[in-house]
A = this chain, B = another copy of it.
């Protein structure tokens, strides 16, 4: 539905392509909504490989990844999971928010990420060797630093890590205009509001607003909302549930927006 509008922020496209050619797994890091998923989709189009996405969560078992025996018509048949399908198809397998996965489920990836490039299906009694075009990509947001949910260093070292960040203001405004059709001046004010909040992040310790949140605000403006109520709903309100911090952030954002009737 959305056309491929990925705007590179650094050398991430080049390095990704090199890792692909050299069959090195890639780890994408960076804040929420900085474009990690979009980069993977973009690289899939660029490299001509399908992308199979797996949203990680802490109930994801290794069976969910590799497959399981299932009963059908009285018979018990092995059914490949999305990871096994991706390996067999030589696809790009994308594990989104990999840090959320149960770490024991990740052990299944070890033999895929070293010189073996193979998947051991212990229960099916099969070993699947990845074709050259198979690539494993993971992503996570290092800003969540919970001791329970750290990826093991030995796991991280299996990947080439591409550290991503927000787009620079002018590119971010351009993305917003391209996706919503609002005036550039409105987009620039939304970006200025977001940047003010991102800079305040150190003081308040919240997750800063993503480009996706700015696009949502711009959508509401495009539909007739005024800039302040749109920014309140999509940028400020989701940041925190602490009343005091919320007031502080509102002050940070204040001054960016003009009065409602000046919008557009």
Contacts from A to B (Cβ < 8 Å)? 1-2, 11, 14-15, 18-19, 21-24, 27, 29, 32-33, 37, 53-62, 64, 69-76, 81-82, 96-97, 100, 102-108, 110-111, 114-115, 117, 120, 122-123, 141-142, 144-145, 150, 152-154, 156-163, 206-207, 209-210, 212-213, 216-217, 219-220, 222-225, 229, 233-234, 237-242
Q: Is the interface of A mostly helix, strand, loop or mixed?
A: mixed
- Decide yes or no: A219 and B22 within 8 Å by CB, A2-B115, A213-B157 being known contacts: yes
A41 to B: closest C-beta gap in Å: 9
A144 to B: closest C-beta gap in Å: 8
Q: Check B107 against A56 for contact (C-beta < 8 Å).
A: yes
Bound form: Cα–Cα A133–B150 in Å: 39
Chain B residues with Cβ under 8 A from A1's Cβ? 115, 117
Bound form: Cα–Cα A53–B115 in Å: 14
Number of copies: 6
Chain B residues with Cβ under 8 A from A22's Cβ? 216, 219-220, 222-223
Q: Which residue of B72, B160, B162, B163 is within 8 Å of A76 (Cβ)?
A: B72
Bound form: Cα–Cα A234–B113 in Å: 13
A253 to B: closest C-beta gap in Å: 14
Q: Which residue of B81, B115, B160, B242 is within 8 Å of A233 (Cβ)?
A: B160
